[in-house]
Amino acid sequence: MNESEKNIETCLPESILAEVSALPTDPQFVSLVNESLDPLKQQAFQQAGSDAYNEVVASHKPYTFTSSVRQMKSNLILLLRRLWRFPFGSGTIRSLSDMWAHYITRLQGSETYGIPSRLSQLTDLPSAPLLVADRKISGADVEDGISLVRILSDSSVAVTELTDDTTGWTWNKALPSNITGSLKNVSLNCTKAGLASGYGFMIVADLDTLNLPYLEEFRFQTGEYGYNVGLVKNATGLTKIDTPNLKAIMPRGGSIVSNNCQAYIFYECPNLVEWNAPKLTRLWCSYVTNAPLEKVVLGTLETDFMTAYGSYSNFHNTANLIHFEIGAGTAVSLHLNWWNPTNVLADQDNLQQFLSNFRSFIVLRLANRKTTTALTLTLSAAVYNAVTGANSGWASQHTLAELGITDNDLTDLETELGITSATIYATWLDTYTGANGIHWNVNKAN
C-alpha cells in the first residue's frame, strides 16, 4: 500500500468530486478505462468466435493510472464496468456492451466472400463506427462489406431481400437477372415505375412478397403488347400485391399512340389471390389476367378497361374472383365482360357471397345518374345471368335477407325506392339501377 494515498473516509467530498471531475483530462484516465473494460471486451470477442483482440489488449499494458485516494481506482473500475452493461436504450442495442458486440460482428468479415476482417483495428468503441463508414450498401441482405460490383457481377452472391428506405424516386430500370434469381422479398419506396425505354418487366423473380407502399403510377412503353411489358413476372410464391397509393396504370405519354399498346401488370403469378389498389382510378391498356385472384380492390374509376384494340380484356381466366370492388362514385361505363368466375358461380355458398359482394362493392359504388344520361355496366353472360336471375337462377328466387342483408343494412336510396330485405335480389337490381334508381344499364356481353 502506498502510504501517500489517503483513505476515502478521510477526504472531503468536494476533494473527491474535484478529482473525479478532472479525470477526462487526465492522460492516465485512458489507462484506467482500458484496465476496466479489457476483460469485458475480450469476453465479447470470444463470444463472437475471435481471439484477435488479445493483441490489442497487450498493446494497452501496463496500466498506469494512480490516484491520491486509495479506493478511487477500484471504485472507478466498478463504476465503468456497471456503465458498460447499463441499459440506456431499447431494441437490439441497449448498452455499450451490446454496441461493442454489434461492431465486432460487423467487422468479422467473410472468408467465403473474401471480405477482410477489421477486428485488429478495433481498439475502442468511439472508433468503431469509423471502421464501417466506407460500407455504404444498404437495403440488401448481403454480407456486410461486400461491394456493389460484386453483387452485380458475381452470380454466387445470393440476394434474397431488397428493402428501400428512401422516397420520391422513379424506378425506371429493371432489376438485373443475377440479383432477381435469388430474390424472395422486395420492398421499394418509389413513387413512379416504368422502364425509361424499351420493353420488359420491372422485376422477374420468384417472389414471396412485393411491397410498393408509395407507388402512385406505373407507365409502360407503347408500341408493344403481350407478356413483354409489365410490372412483375414469374412470381410463383406471391400471394398478394399491396399498392395502397397506386393511382394510374397507363401508357407513357398518357394516350394511345399505337394499336400495340397494352401491358400485363402481373404475369405468370399462379398463386396470386389478392391485389389491393384502393386509389387506382386508371387501369388503361393493361391486362389483369391468368391469376387465381379472389379479391381485387380498386379506386373510383375514371377510365374503362379498354385496350388499344377496342377490346375490354380484363379479369379473364379469373375463375375464383369473388370479391371485385370499385370506389364509390365511379361514373364511367365499365366493361367487365371477360369476368367469368366459374368456380364461384358453381358453388351455392360462394354464389350467395358473390351476389352480396356484387351489391356492396360494385352496384352501390356506381355514381347516381338519375338526373343525367345513363351509363352502362357490361357483364359476361355468366355474371349477368347470376345477378339478374336469368333462366330462373338464384337471384330471381331469393331475397336480400337470404344473403344476410337486413333492413338496417339498406342505403337511404334503397329505402326510398321501397326496397326491403324481403325484396327479391333480381328485383332489387332492376329497381336500383332503373331510371328511378341510379339510372344505369346493366347489359350482357354478346
pLDDT digits 0-9 by tens, 244-257: 999 998 887 666 55
C-alpha cell at 325: 370492388
pLDDT band at 440 (very low <50, low <70, confident <90, very high): very high
13-17, 209-213, 237-241, range with the lowest pLDDT: 13-17
Q: Flag whether pLDDT at 419 surpasses 70.
A: yes
Letter for the amino acid at 348? Answer: Q
CA separation, residue 344 to residues 112, 347, 349, 381 (Å): 52, 6, 9, 14
Say if CB 386 and CB 375 are below 8 A apart: no
Pairing of strands 200-204, 229-233: parallel
- Distance, in Å, from the CA atom of 159 to the CA atom of 168, rounded to the nearest integer, reads 24
- Distance, in Å, from the CA atom of 299 to the CA atom of 293, rounded to the nearest integer, reads 17
pLDDT at 398: 97
Q: List beta partners, residue 324.
A: 296
Q: 273: exposed, middle or buried (C-beta count within 10 Å: 0-12, 13-18, 19+)? A: middle
Share of the chain above pLDDT 70, in %: 93
Q: List beta partners, residue 233.
A: 204, 267
20-29, 264-273, 389-398, range with the lowest pLDDT: 20-29
- Tell me the average pLDDT of the chain: 88
End-to-end CA distance of the chain: 106
CA separation, residue 188 to residues 171, 215, 392, 429 (Å): 9, 8, 50, 42
Q: Flag whether pLDDT at 10 surpasses 90.
A: no
pTM of this structure? 0.77
CA separation, residue 37 to residues 32, 65, 96, 426 (Å): 9, 14, 11, 81
Which residues have C-beta within 8 Å of that of residue 97, sequence separation ≥ 6? Answer: 40, 44, 84, 85
pLDDT at 147: 83
**Tally of CB atoms within 10 A around 98:** 17
pLDDT band at 418 (very low <50, low <70, confident <90, very high): very high
Q: Flag whether pLDDT at 83 surpasses 50.
A: yes
pLDDT at 1: 37
**Tally of CB atoms within 10 A around 196:** 10
pLDDT at 441: 97
pLDDT at 52: 67
128-132, 284-288, 294-298, 441-445, range with the lowest pLDDT: 284-288
Angle between helices 348-361 and 425-433 (to 10 degrees): 20
- Distance, in Å, from the CA atom of 300 to the CA atom of 123, rounded to the nearest integer, reads 61
**Order of strands across the sheet that contains 334-336:** 334-336, 375-379, 440-444
